[in-house]
Structure 1
Amino acid sequence: MKPRILILSCLLLAGELFAQQYQKTAVGIKTKLQSMDVEIQFYSPSIVRILKSPEGVLFKKESLSVTKKPQETKLTIQQKGDVLSMKSEKLKVDVDFKSGKISYYTLAGVELLKETESGATFTDFDDVGSKTYSINQLFTLDKDEAIYGLGQQQRGKLSLRNTKINMIQDNKDDYVPFLVSTKGYGLFWDNYSPTTFEDKPRSTSLKSEVGDCIDYYFMVGGTIDGSIAGMRELTGQAPMFPLWTFGYWQSKERYKSQNELVGVVSKYRELGVPLDGIIQDWQYWGNNYLWNSMEFLNPEFPNPKKMVDDIHNMNAHLIISIWSSFGPQTKQFREMEPKGMLLNFGTWPQSGVESWPPNRDYPSGVQPYDPYNPEARDIYWRYLNKGLFSVGIDGWWMDSSEPDHLDFKPSDLDLKTYLGSFRKVRNAFPLMTVGGVSGHQRAASSDKRIFILTRSAFAGQQRYGANTWSGDVNSSWESFRNQIPAGLNFSMSAIPYWNTDIGGFFAGAYKKGWGDGTKNPSFQELYVRWLQFGAFTPMMRSHGTDVPREIYNFGKKGEPIYDAIAKTIDLRYSLLPYIYSAAWDVTNSQSTMMRALVMDFNDKKVVDISKEYLFGKSILVAPIVNAQYTPETIVKSNEQTGWDKNNEEKGAKDQTINFTQTKSTKVYLPEGTVWYDFWTNEKIKGGQEIEKTTTIDESPLYIKSGSIIPFGPKVQYATEKKWDILEIRIYPGANGEFTLYEDENDNYNYEKGAFSTIKMEWNDKSKTLNISKINGSFKGVLKNRTFNIVLVDKTNTAAGINNSKFNKTIEYSGKAKSVKL
């Protein structure tokens, strides 16, 4: 009898020990692992959060990026030996009490990701008097999986494997600590301090300088798209931009008077070249001591209201440069400084007088503000609203939003912000400053959609109506090549809107011996190829210093370079129905506009292709990224050297270049589909590299079989004509579908249901196009329209746009129709 009692007691004790190993919560469990307090929280069936901290150390963490709250999720919890398994409807999470590692699986038992044993470390760190930690977490990745994201890097590569990246925001590098895997999961490291990502053969790690806790989110999406959708569910959805933002934008450093600015728009209208946006760069406020005053204090801008009205009367829009810093003579500086709302470190500009090199005898005194402080964000908007929004400016060019941090000293990170040391929150600076403007504008008015062009970004910024550009990049072929993988990794970081300075920012090297540089064939070729790439990014914006970018500086109609530029801009406008519908797919279905080929094709050869991508889900873009007509020039410059204007000395001109010659380039077409050459309609089987004949005015474009693409009318600006007559091209060879989206173009009524969709489905076997009844309505919705339908084949030699032979023309009044072709 006594032995039985002993055995029973041991069993009860063992059960009690197992029971004490974890505690159930409303959204998961709490437990202790290897001297750490660990909490696992399910935010949804597919998203789980892991929190780790040294045992017994209390902390408070309110995420700057995450907007979603954890939701009660149906879980099955079972323990076998040392392993606790938690199952939701979407994934399984295993906790190994012995090794301390956490692993993630599909419901079918396929391992997705696992921590390494003893992979979490906390190292004591004194953060300007605050006891905290440097934190590190190690994971084990499969040898053959590929990972992408982590924001924008100028590495020239797509894959993140076998890479070390020191993530601290910079002019040309925008870091977002979110990555996606070809195995169908996403990982978000929720930390704002300088962080190092390193992928080695045995482990992959994320190490941050400051963290009261390890805080990361694992999400299972099944695909890269699904993982991105999970990240947007967690950190906010991307709103719709106005239709006009998808037109062509002209800019330069800088228009020096309101007459010059308005004159550019007028000249485009006179030439009949489409234009929707013009951008005013810095110093409309006057001297550097008045930096970012948000007022037109420069006498060359005497009547800003008239300037804005003149631009609007030509059916164009204006956005204007604003910064994250203020000069010492501005009202903002004088109001913020006594309240401790400025960060005293070296930023742009460094001299109070406009000259190069900076005159250190006359320091500018410009300082960034503290956007982590809600009162500082209020002050920022108050002046922005009064000085610029009130005169009708249409959007904001938020320059230096990382911000510029020149002559960096480690002690600069010791500066105090509203949320602690600058070190602790450094990388979230762009999120806070962009969010401050976006939130205030939306509270002030819903009549005009927020549009912010910004130089930096952080996790969650997609919710603020911002399009990020890639910074002050060099004007060189090498730099141009780097932009494609930079944009694709940025897009796979769940922030869908991105663009570049078309032609590159620092272009002074092309002026030597060539006046303003616009007649230099080396720059002409690079500019045209960059423009052709820019036509297939979410914002088509020409900008840079030294060499002007307006079309009329490159010649006149009938000349090869002028005609190539005009043709590319026209192509962009013809695709606006496709592009705007793709934007709705981003907002409504968490899609991505610039798509790495690995997102859509199960083809091992595309895993690390960094020079091609899909724009939307139908158009393969293969930019020409090597010089074909001129020698390639390597240009190196940065924020410091790029402003050196000592480049007017005479130089040897290139030999005469014949831009009418045909050239060729290689293009890889992914397997699993048939492709159509956009320019010739030639049908080509995927899974092969081809040699493509090219001209200066055409860059390789291919359309996936099964695609349905609407083409809009020829216009001078995006809303000039309604889409009452559309060309609908069908690329046969597979079934396909497309949803045409329309709304009121520039307000938030779409959030209340004021929009319409028309779904089109192609049945390849029966050669039938089924057009649904119109779904939804809004003020101004078209009651009747004409669809000119083209079944693409080589007999319909389209030469790109606007001159195909129509197979059928149908009248559509909003009722369902089937068309046999």
Structure 2
Amino acid sequence: MTTARIKLRMNFLPFAVLALILLFCSCTQHTTFIRQGDGITVEIKDPAPGSAKWVRLQAVSPKIIRVTASNDNKFTAGKSLMIDSTFHVAAEWSAEQTDKEALVKTSELVASVSFTTGEVIFKDKNGNIILQEKTGGGKKITPVIIDDKPLYRISQQFESPAGEAFYGLGQPQTGQINYKDEDVDLTQYNSIVAVPFLLSNRNYGLLWDNYSITHFGDNREKQQLSALQLTGKGGTSEGLTATYSDRTDSTHIYMQRQEDKIDYSFLPSLKNIPAGFPMEKGKVTWEGFITADTTGEHKFYLSASGYLKFWLDGKLLLDKWREGWNPGPSQFRYMLSKGQKHAIKVEWIPESTQAFASLQWLSPTPPALHNKMTLSSEAAENIDYYFICGANADEVIGGYRQLTGKATLLPQWALGFWQSRERYKTEQEIENVVAEFRKRKIGLDNIVLDWSYWKEDAWGSQQFDRARFPDAAGMIGRLHERYNTRFMISVWPKFYEGIENYKIFDKQNWLYKQNIKDQQRDWIGKGYISTFYDAFNPTARMGFWKLLDSSLFIKGVDAWWLDATEPDILSNATIEKRKQLMQPTASGSSTQYFNGYPLQNAKGIYEGQRSSRPNQRVFILTRSAYAGMQRYAAATWSGDIAARFDEMERQIPAGINFSLSGLPYWTNDIGGFFVEDKYDKPHPNGNALEEWRELNTRWYQFGAFCPLFRSHGQYPYREIFNIAPDDHPAYKSMLYYNQLRYRLMPYIYSVAGNTCHNNYTMMRGLIMDFGTDANVKNIGDQYMFGPSFLVNPVYTYKATFRPVYLPAGQGWYNLYTGEYTTGGQHITAVASYERMPVFVKEGSIIPFGPQIEFTGEKPADDITLYVYTGKDGSFTLYEDEGVNYNYEKGKYSNIPITYNEANKTLTIGKREGDFKDMLKNRLFRIVWVTKSKSTALDFSSPSDTAIAYNGNEQTVTMNGKF
């Protein structure tokens, strides 16, 4: 075999040259490929039906390769929304070919494409396979016509060896952490965030550049239960026995009938509810048997609101509640035997006239999908993805941010505590709450004003109702000056028909009009007709910002809460109806761009504020997100979740996987958003009250160790002084964690600085730091908060212990007692009512600042360093001006701090950098924590030693008594 070798370096050929030279291999097959400025395009010799005819490999960086596959060589995909427009290709590369394949090589990677199948394989520089597409290419490209435009349904399948684990993909909220052999729908929905970035424990990532509804895993269409053999509860009649009865008296039956599906999925399906059945007072029970024609693990997909229980063979697999208008997904695998009847029972208590329940099914995963990984999208111009490799997960996420934009540094105050409520109804109510925080000396940085601060019939006016907010600008000014508190406000992309702003946007053709044509009314008062603006339109985005700027920003608003950004124009509409309601977008069909709305909406606010006030840090909180959001100063919260312990449990893997999707700032409603009747009518008392207090306490403990720390929800009120009196353990615990959060501000802000400057991740799945420990692969209820804290939330009512795995390779110190435990073992950790188990990794250096009530109260001129000995350690204390963008101009400082275990010395290194009003001198107090001396976390105790620091390197040695 002869090999033709062609080498090309980017700096010798202009990037604009796309296809000028055909190179012919001297081998007998005379295979060709086209050389471009950043890669090669290969025409596939004999592509399989429905596969790609052309494959392009582009060297993006030494560790990133872009793969595009098409039915022609035009690669006509429009401008990417997720890729940062300021990103520049920066890779030296070479091209080679053999008689079987063409290769692109960088200093770190080799990517090859088969001339006969189009199969792409990625190898490291030593020739080891990192990832390969399915043998034969694994590509499917099926022509479709969508809104008169020729597009494709696409899928790409990869080989996935046993033992691989997958993370990321946004925020599915099904309770899963590892997606290996699982199925994930990437469809934007209230509390479901779709981010098409996948992270493997094999230290690579895939960024899938597509904006349509996407699926990970088994992409067969889900089926109704009618695809199985169904018999009623008597075991003879066809279908399941559906009993529509009274909620409290099962003998009071409104109707009983045989049904072959459970499908009250969306608004139109509710018309199938039997006439006369009172959903708000009723209960539906489906009972009978299912029989499959194959043996194996069958898949069940549930979505429900209200109360839903699900049994198979008498085993209770789900017992969950959600508010009627926001159903949540769950999924299970269950072993069914061919030809055998398996008992099934589903019990649903809707609670309201608008509640939803559905149960779908798939047969066992086909053998062809075993040890495979598949991404599929319903609309595309090409298959287009980026392969990113690294030495660890941080490097892979760094590659993701290289492509999609660095995470901006949030204003420092955003890392403090926020208080919110659904909702503060007057400006006096807001000021009274903030005043109570200050009176009680509870830390607070941000007060949030939720929706309906406008007149009832003026949604989209961006104007305060003067009857309830007579002096909004004055109120915000007092919050700033009297209470040192920031003010965030909820702004929706929604406009009521006929208001002045609607007319302005309508005249410019900036609005989606289908909901107006439908005359669909919302749920406010008598109901009003509304629609959303088209955030894909750049002039509409600019127009939307101008409304906010002239009406709200001018009054002193500090930050933006962007609600319903999926976009949720009509809750619980079918997916097809949702597409109609946002059709067309300025970028193209809503089918093609369905998932991209939240990215474009945030882009408009970020760019708008930076143009209006270039040196005030933007801060955005948005209910939905997409790849690239981090470059727009946007954080995301987990939507309108339920106030239950089982819902809290699901928040932990949701936040971890969101962070593993490359988006560093995540939060959830402490205490859950909406509540069961026992908490709400008229108010909790007795056992319900104590459960309510414990739920909020446990959630508050968890929230204190999330990237953003915020409380929000419906009645009962969520301020800690409204949850419990100050002598109650709930109040004491929440106050403790509030104060601990503020003590940790030097640590937290330094981690935020590292996130911005070095692509770090604050909320860290254990796979990031302990990837060689096989035990962590499937742990979804523990995580690292920065480099030091192992966080173990308690999500079981009345629990006083919880199981904890301490990762191997290092020892762990109990944060509160200083007690040392060897890693690599499962333990039962004490979890008293007032404390959540938190452990500190051996070799950690943690800076604690002074006790403060808001982040800007005073500089951290007195820092206590807790040094957890046993291993070498390091920490860099990062500081800047906290509220502006001078850090982008290099105005910040780093103080490197290192501990050497061999000689027991701590070195506080020379300060690097400076900025306005930087502290020139400070005191570092040192507390040594050792295996032999359990040192409790106690800020009232004297330190072991102290260093007066003036910016120059200083070293201190631990004395012999330790």
Q: State whether TM-score is above 0.5.
A: yes
Larger deviation, residues 465-474 vs 84-93: 84-93
Which whole-Å deviations, capped at 9, do the CAs of 1:249-299 have from their partners, x for residues lacking one?
Answer: 100100000000111110100111111110000111121x31132111351
Q: 2:167 aligns with which of 127, 141, 148?
A: 148
Q: 1:173 aligns with which of 192, 213, 229?
A: 192
TM-aligned CA distance change 1:296 to 1:222, over 3 Å: same
- 1:803 CA drift (Å): 2.9
For 1:710 and 1:448, locate their aligned partners in 2 and report how far apart those are by CA, in whole Å: 27
Which whole-Å deviations, capped at 9, do the CAs of 1:597-653 have from their partners, x for residues lacking one?
Answer: 111012111001011000001100001111126xxxxxxxxxxxxxxxxxxxxxxxx
For 2:574 and 2:80, locate their aligned partners in 1 and report how far apart those are by CA, in whole Å: 27
TM-aligned CA distance change 1:804 to 1:58, over 3 Å: same
Decide whether the 8 Å contact of 2:819 with 2:935 is kept in 1. no
- 1:354 CA drift (Å): 3.2
- 1:322 CA drift (Å): 0.4
Residue in structure 2 matched with residue 644 of structure 1 by the alignment = none
1:533 aligns with 2:552: no
Residue in structure 2 matched with residue 43 of structure 1 by the alignment = 60
Residue in structure 2 matched with residue 359 of structure 1 by the alignment = none
Larger deviation, residues 18-27 vs 241-250: 18-27
Residue in structure 2 matched with residue 551 of structure 1 by the alignment = 720
TM-aligned CA distance change 1:527 to 1:799, over 3 Å: farther
- 1:72 CA drift (Å): 5.5
Report the 3-state secondary structure (helix = DSSP H, G, I; strand = E; otherwise coil) of the residue aligned with 1:625.
coil
Residue in structure 1 matched with residue 922 of structure 2 by the alignment = 785
- 1:74 CA drift (Å): 2.4
Matches within 5 A, 1:373-772: 373-404=537-568, 405-406=570-571, 407-408=573-574, 410-414=576-580, 415-511=583-679, 515=683, 520-601=689-770, 602-628=772-798, 663-772=800-909
Q: 1:253 aligns with which of 417, 422, 438?
A: 422
1:194 aligns with 2:216: no
Report the 3-state secondary structure (helix = DSSP H, G, I; strand = E; otherwise coil) of the residue aligned with 2:888.
helix
Which structure carries more strand by proportion? 2
For 2:680 and 2:664, locate their aligned partners in 1 and report how far apart those are by CA, in whole Å: 38
- 1:118 CA drift (Å): 3.8
- 1:218 CA drift (Å): 0.6
- 1:86 CA drift (Å): 2.0
Letter in 2 for 1:198: G
TM-aligned CA distance change 1:504 to 1:801, over 3 Å: farther
Q: 1:61 aligns with which of 62, 78, 88?
A: 78
Decide whether the 8 Å contact of 1:283 with 1:298 is kept in 2. no
Which whole-Å deviations, capped at 9, do the CAs of 1:375-416 have from their partners, x for residues lacking one?
Answer: 110110111000100011000011111111422251542521
For 2:30 and 2:894, locate their aligned partners in 1 and report how far apart those are by CA, in whole Å: 54
For 1:24 and 1:131, locate their aligned partners in 2 and report how far apart those are by CA, in whole Å: 27
Letter in 1 for 2:782: E
Decide whether the 8 Å contact of 2:717 with 2:723 is kept in 1. no
For 2:523 and 2:791, locate their aligned partners in 1 and report how far apart those are by CA, in whole Å: 44
- 1:756 CA drift (Å): 1.1
TM-score (norm 1): 0.91
Residue in structure 2 matched with residue 316 of structure 1 by the alignment = 485
Decide whether the 8 Å contact of 1:346 with 1:408 is kept in 2. no
Decide whether the 8 Å contact of 1:248 with 1:274 is kept in 2. yes
TM-aligned CA distance change 1:72 to 1:491, over 3 Å: closer
- 1:36 CA drift (Å): 1.5
Which whole-Å deviations, capped at 9, do the CAs of 1:15-42 have from their partners, x for residues lacking one?
Answer: 2776652021111101112261222111
TM-aligned CA distance change 1:72 to 1:466, over 3 Å: closer
For 1:808 and 1:316, locate their aligned partners in 2 and report how far apart those are by CA, in whole Å: 35
1:52 aligns with 2:69: yes
Decide whether the 8 Å contact of 2:750 with 2:876 is kept in 1. yes
For 1:14 and 1:808, locate their aligned partners in 2 and report how far apart those are by CA, in whole Å: 72
Decide whether the 8 Å contact of 1:42 with 1:70 is kept in 2. no
For 2:180 and 2:883, locate their aligned partners in 1 and report how far apart those are by CA, in whole Å: 42
Residue in structure 2 matched with residue 773 of structure 1 by the alignment = 910
Letter in 2 for 1:691: T
Question: Identical aligned pairs, as a percentage?
Answer: 37
Decide whether the 8 Å contact of 1:529 with 1:625 is kept in 2. yes
Residue in structure 2 matched with residue 269 of structure 1 by the alignment = 438
Decide whether the 8 Å contact of 2:42 with 2:115 is kept in 1. no
TM-aligned CA distance change 1:584 to 1:517, over 3 Å: farther
Decide whether the 8 Å contact of 1:192 with 1:427 is kept in 2. yes
Q: Structure 1: which 5+ residue stretches go unaligned?
A: 1-11, 356-361, 630-662
- 1:350 CA drift (Å): 6.6
TM-aligned CA distance change 1:387 to 1:516, over 3 Å: farther
- 1:463 CA drift (Å): 0.3
Larger deviation, residues 278-287 vs 799-808: 799-808
TM-aligned CA distance change 1:202 to 1:623, over 3 Å: closer
Decide whether the 8 Å contact of 1:326 with 1:332 is kept in 2. yes
Decide whether the 8 Å contact of 2:27 with 2:99 is kept in 1. no
For 1:13 and 1:224, locate their aligned partners in 2 and report how far apart those are by CA, in whole Å: 40
For 1:282 and 1:772, locate their aligned partners in 2 and report how far apart those are by CA, in whole Å: 49
Letter in 2 for 1:50: V
Q: 1:23 aligns with which of 31, 34, 44?
A: 34
Decide whether the 8 Å contact of 1:66 with 1:234 is kept in 2. yes
- 1:512 CA drift (Å): 5.4
For 2:749 and 2:702, locate their aligned partners in 1 and report how far apart those are by CA, in whole Å: 18
Letter in 1 for 2:914: S
Report the 3-state secondary structure (helix = DSSP H, G, I; strand = E; otherwise coil) of the residue aligned with 1:757.
strand
Larger deviation, residues 442-451 vs 710-719: 442-451
Residue in structure 2 matched with residue 139 of structure 1 by the alignment = 158
1:90 aligns with 2:108: yes
Report the 3-state secondary structure (helix = DSSP H, G, I; strand = E; otherwise coil) of the residue aligned with 2:751.
helix
For 1:268 and 1:508, locate their aligned partners in 2 and report how far apart those are by CA, in whole Å: 27
Q: What is the number of equivalent residue pairs in this alignment?
A: 770
Report the 3-state secondary structure (helix = DSSP H, G, I; strand = E; otherwise coil) of the residue aligned with 1:15.
coil
For 1:167 and 1:517, locate their aligned partners in 2 and report how far apart those are by CA, in whole Å: 40
Report the 3-state secondary structure (helix = DSSP H, G, I; strand = E; otherwise coil) of the residue aligned with 1:290.
coil
Decide whether the 8 Å contact of 1:736 with 1:763 is kept in 2. yes
Letter in 2 for 1:63: S
Matches within 5 A, 1:292-303: 292-303=460-471
Residue in structure 1 matched with residue 176 of structure 2 by the alignment = 157
Report the 3-state secondary structure (helix = DSSP H, G, I; strand = E; otherwise coil) of the residue aligned with 1:154.
coil
1:223 aligns with 2:388: no
TM-aligned CA distance change 1:352 to 1:609, over 3 Å: closer
- 1:76 CA drift (Å): 3.0
Which whole-Å deviations, capped at 9, do the CAs of 1:320-363 have from their partners, x for residues lacking one?
Answer: 000121112433211112333222456999745635xxxxxx54
Letter in 1 for 2:787: K
Letter in 2 for 1:243: Q
Report the 3-state secondary structure (helix = DSSP H, G, I; strand = E; otherwise coil) of the residue aligned with 2:190.
coil
Which whole-Å deviations, capped at 9, do the CAs of 1:465-485 have from their partners, x for residues lacking one?
Answer: 011000001111111011111
TM-score (norm 2): 0.78
Larger deviation, residues 602-611 vs 333-342: 333-342
Q: Structure 2: which 5+ residue stretches go unaligned?
A: 1-22, 219-368
TM-aligned CA distance change 1:753 to 1:409, over 3 Å: closer
Letter in 2 for 1:130: K
Residue in structure 2 matched with residue 638 of structure 1 by the alignment = none
Larger deviation, residues 784-793 vs 760-769: 784-793
Report the 3-state secondary structure (helix = DSSP H, G, I; strand = E; otherwise coil) of the residue aligned with 2:631.
helix
